[in-house]
Amino acid sequence: MRILRRLRHWWRFGARSAELDEELAFHREALEQDLIARGSTPEEARATARRAMGNETQMREASRAVWLWPWVEGVWQDAKSTIRSLRRSPAFSAGVILTFALGVGVNAAMFSFLDRQMFRAPALLRDPASVNRVYLYRQRDGVESEVSGWYSRHSDLVRWTTSFSDVAAFVSRMMAVGVGQDARERPVAIVSASFFDFFNAPPTAGRYFTADEDAPPVGAPVAVLSYAMWQAQYGGRPDVIGTTLQIGAVVYTIIGVTPRGFVGLWALRPPAAYVPIATYAASEGPADWATTYTWAFGMETMVRRKPGVNSVAASADLTHALELSFRAQGSVRSDTRTADQRIAALRPRGLAGPLLLERGPERSSEAKVATWLGGVTLIVLLIACANVASLLLARGLNRRREIALRIALGVSKLRLISQLLTESLLLAVSGAVLGLVLAGWLSSLLSASFLPGAKRASVADLRTLAFTAAVTLIVGVATSLFPVLQARRLSLTEDIASGGRSGTARRSRARAALLVVQGALSLLLLVGAGLFVRSLRNVRDVRLGYDADSVLVVELAMRDVRLDSAQTVALRRRLLDVAREMPGVSHATLQFAEPFGGMTSWPILVAGIDSTRKFGIFELNAVSPDYFATMGTRVLRGRGIERGDVAGATHVMVVGAAMARVLWPGEDPLGKCVRMLVDPVPCVYVVGVAEDIHSRSLGPETRNFYYYLAAEQMRPQEGGLFVRSAGNAQQLIEPLRRRLQAEMPGASYVTLTRMAASIEGVTRPWVMGANVFTAFGVLALVLAAVGLYSVIAYNVAQRRHELAVRMALGAAAGSVVRLVASEGMRLALYGVALGGAIAVQLGRFVEPLLFKQSPYDPVVFGIVIGVLLLVALVASAIPATRGARVDPNTLLRADAG
């Protein structure tokens, strides 16, 4: 009821106001007449009545406040007057809005990116809080490593755990989908039938596959299309159910379509189709793939905990199941040691961890850097806020007189504060809108840099918008805080009387503090930039042991084409010959393993050493005579693989320098004999020593060793080519691919990539770190410089009387400049000191992200401090010089008048 009456009153707002005014006028008149009746003169009566009535404006507002939502009216009025006043100072408004846009935009983009990677539960997942990804570990020589994804291990977990209501296996692969011209490499999800039970996602058409269709050893050739694929490739036709689609080597029958928005666990690379794990494994793996522990294909396990089971209990359950699984594996493999000892030494450990990989223990270094960048963007936001607050303060100081007058006229302080708040919020909202546009652009840049090939991320999702709205509200309120506090301290008499022309300088401590903070944050970002730039240089300076830039990697996808071993060898030989004859190719070699693309190791035996395993992993490649020329790997001693190293001749190998050092310390490795456990030839003789290569990390690889066998002797059934381009490698890709493809039988095909691309994947965190820190650091520096400049300029304006008096009394222009500029420099020095202290504190956290780089590098700190102080000097010297140019005569005269 009251609400309704209130609404009605509000509706009749204008009439109400007039009535109230008339009523008050009557009141005053009546009072006057009474006073006259008691013997006052009319003048006295009028004065007394006026005094008695007190502050009429205030009363009127108080009366209105009863029947209005005062803030509704107030906000509307404030918004109108704010827009008016902002239009009067377009430079100020544009500056503030742009600053907000930068701060908010960068954060919205970063949030959208991090949210997708680390926070958002997969779409349509039922009760995400109870779902975990399974991480399994074991130790070898005191080093813990992840246990490979074997199907048999997964089955053991299903069998021996009791904590879970659902367990599913999954992996996503790039596979050739379709045939002929339509064939494309697309992400395909290989999942157990139970996978779909985790989601609240009934199929749009048809059905999902059943446990029977996903049963080892062969499964059924049935596939579920993704909604996007169904729309894009089949135009959403319902008769797609029952048609066939070749994926990899298998021709699948389509039995269903997922609902719209369903992407499984792969929001960044949504699968085109979902196929049963058994069907995939049967087509790609050995016959006994489901029962032995030999064929791993990167499969992972996800679980849903039963109600009441927490993740600690679930992890313990997994650890126990892993122990039993190792025991079961032991009975499959023969071993001399007792099972208990062996299992104790393995230290099995299971973990029911976060479903999102990038949040778990196995997150990528990109994710780690991205987390840091999230922090960096927050710093940018802080700087932007500080700058806006600083600008608003300056504006507030200029408006002191106006504000003081309004208070004197009876405007309540609450109204005044609400107006300042409205102004900030309005600016923040405008900035945020612009920021979102910026964010859309930034976020595709982020995705492209961190996750090449990933689906374009849009920032126009509810979570990002909600985040942006929250940030906008917070920065709007936060930036208005300073002007509001300032308004509360106004002194009426002084501000009105002096007309804002006070003779003494009025320094704002709040602005000074903001500047110091800005300076400190800029220093932090610039130091970060310096450290990452130097890390990146160190990364690029690493001698990989080969020239990745000019080498192309050729890989063969055989699909369902099954060749016997002689045919395989012949095909590979033919491809090598074709590649060699191709114009633009300087060298080519067969290869079996690619650095940073997964190497292979076989156990080796060396006379006098009981176990070579204790040294680490010995990885091999099987190569042609041109290998070392193709790769640019230097042969340090002896010879490389040569044309004479064929099947009938003595088997030879070239070893890496580190391998020679560790196996035969102090001896000549040439002529030594190495026996291969898997390939029981009597002896493979060392004929050369090559320089070491990096194949796993850019850091020191102390436990990885490399050797090279002759492809003609080893005759591997897998692998492709390395091709060295004489010119631009990128331009060679397409013609070479077409030429090689002509040799491929059936549906098989070749893919070509630049070797540098896999190296770029490894160096990406540092490239990103260097780029983002530098960009943000420079941005922060510019913002801080503008802030400093405006503060000094403002102070000069405030002190112009004082400066004029000084100059009138004979002070030299230079000393005036020094006087003013020294203030800016003092603030800059405080900022540098504060920022330096924080940077040193943060050093140990950032150290693991750097590459051969101390976080306390004096060169970086020195340069950054130097740049900061120089910028500060320029930013304060310009307004100071301008202040000193004032003619005291003119100024003091103008003031006297």
Partner 1 sequence: MGRDLVKLQPDLLPGTLDLLVLRTLARGPLHGYGIAQRVRELSQDVLHVGESSLYPALQRLLLDGYVTAEWGASENNRRARYYTLTAAGRKQLTAERREFERIVDAIHLVLANA
Indicate the residue among 40 and 194 with the shorter CB distance to partner 1.
40
Closest CB 13 distance from partner 1, rounded Å: 13
Indicate the residue among 73 and 461 with the shorter CB distance to partner 1.
73
Stretch that binds partner 1, among 51-59, 349-357, 669-677, 869-877 (CB under 8 A): 51-59
Report how far residue 442's alpha carbon sits from residue 102's, in angstroms, rounded to the nearest whole number.
11
How many CA atoms are closer than 13 Å to the CA of 854, on its beta-carbon side?
Answer: 7
In three-state form (DSSP H/G/I as H, E/B as E, the rest C), the secondary structure along 683-701 is: CEEEEEEECCCCCCCCCCC
Indicate the residue among 16 and 368 with the shorter CB distance to partner 1.
16
With contacts defined by CB under 8 A, how many residues of the chain interact with partner 1? 29
Stretch that binds partner 1, among 1-9, 154-162, 256-264, 479-487 (CB under 8 A): 1-9
Closest CB 26 distance from partner 1, rounded Å: 5
Report how far residue 431's alpha carbon sits from residue 288's, in angstroms, rounded to the nearest whole number.
62
| From candidates 17, 36, 46, 63, binder to partner 1 by CB under 8 A | 63
What stretches of 1-88 show up as alpha helix (H) in DSSP?
A: 2-11, 13-37, 42-53, 56-67, 70-88
User: Interface with partner 1 includes 11 (CB under 8 A)?
Assistant: no
Region of 132 (left: φ > 0; alpha: ψ -120 to 50; beta: rest) is: beta
Indicate the residue among 30 and 607 with the shorter CB distance to partner 1.
30
Give the angle subtended at the CA of 416 by the CAs of 414 and 421, to the nearest 5°.
95
| From candidates 40, 46, 47, 59, binder to partner 1 by CB under 8 A | 59
Give the angle subtended at the CA of 750 by the CAs of 711 and 644, to the nearest 5°.
20
Indicate the residue among 360 and 410 with the shorter CB distance to partner 1.
410
User: Interface with partner 1 includes 67 (CB under 8 A)?
Assistant: yes
Indicate the residue among 30 and 448 with the shorter CB distance to partner 1.
30
Report how far residue 529's alpha carbon sits from residue 5's, in angstroms, rounded to the nearest whole number.
62
| From candidates 53, 179, 414, 448, binder to partner 1 by CB under 8 A | 53
DSSP assignment, residue 117? Answer: I
User: Interface with partner 1 includes 700 (CB under 8 A)?
Assistant: no
User: Interface with partner 1 includes 41 (CB under 8 A)?
Assistant: no
Helix, strand or coil, per DSSP, at residue 19: helix
User: Interface with partner 1 includes 2 (CB under 8 A)?
Assistant: yes
Q: Are 214 and 278 in contact (CB under 8 A)?
A: yes
Report how far residue 706's alpha carbon sits from residue 686's, in angstroms, rounded to the nearest whole number.
12
Indicate the residue among 54 and 217 with the shorter CB distance to partner 1.
54
Task: Name the nearest CA neighbour of 828 among 886, 856, 795, 870.
Answer: 870
Stretch that binds partner 1, among 53-61, 114-122, 282-290, 387-395 (CB under 8 A): 53-61
User: Interface with partner 1 includes 6 (CB under 8 A)?
Assistant: yes
Tokens linked to 476: 């709007």
Stretch that binds partner 1, among 46-54, 470-478, 660-668, 844-852 (CB under 8 A): 46-54
Closest CB 12 distance from partner 1, rounded Å: 12
135-174 in b/e form (b: 16+ CB < 10 A) is bbbbeeeeeeeebebbbbbbbbbbebbebbebbbbbbbbe
| From candidates 39, 66, 181, 665, binder to partner 1 by CB under 8 A | 66
Region of 639 (left: φ > 0; alpha: ψ -120 to 50; beta: rest) is: beta
User: Interface with partner 1 includes 58 (CB under 8 A)?
Assistant: yes
User: Interface with partner 1 includes 667 (CB under 8 A)?
Assistant: no
Indicate the residue among 41 and 889 with the shorter CB distance to partner 1.
41
Closest CB 77 distance from partner 1, rounded Å: 20
Q: Which run of H or E residues covers position 867?
A: helix 858-884
Indicate the residue among 3 and 894 with the shorter CB distance to partner 1.
3
Report how far residue 620's alpha carbon sits from residue 634's, in angstroms, rounded to the nearest whole number.
17
* Residues sharing a CB contact under 8 Å with residue 22, sequence separation 6 or more, in sequence order: none
Report how far residue 279's alpha carbon sits from residue 57's, in angstroms, rounded to the nearest whole number.
83
70-75 contacts, C-beta under 8 A, 24 or more apart: 70/415, 71/418, 72/10, 73/10, 73/13, 74/415, 74/418, 74/419, 75/418, 75/422
Indicate the residue among 40 and 538 with the shorter CB distance to partner 1.
40
- For 600, phi then psi, to 5°, come to -120, 145
User: Interface with partner 1 includes 12 (CB under 8 A)?
Assistant: no
| From candidates 1, 91, 143, 896, binder to partner 1 by CB under 8 A | 1
Closest CB 24 distance from partner 1, rounded Å: 7
Indicate the residue among 9 and 395 with the shorter CB distance to partner 1.
9
User: Interface with partner 1 includes 413 (CB under 8 A)?
Assistant: no
CB atoms within 10 A of CB 540: 13
User: Interface with partner 1 includes 9 (CB under 8 A)?
Assistant: yes
Which residues, numbered 17-36, are part of the site for partner 1 (CB under 8 A)? 19-20, 22-24, 26-27, 29-31, 33-34
Indicate the residue among 66 and 742 with the shorter CB distance to partner 1.
66
Stretch that binds partner 1, among 16-24, 121-129, 556-564, 875-883 (CB under 8 A): 16-24
Closest CB 29 distance from partner 1, rounded Å: 7
Report how far residue 213's alpha carbon sits from residue 529's, in angstroms, rounded to the nearest whole number.
54
Residues of the shown chain interacting with partner 1 in the complex, contacts defined by CB under 8 A: 1-2, 5-6, 9, 19-20, 22-24, 26-27, 29-31, 33-34, 52-55, 58-59, 62-67
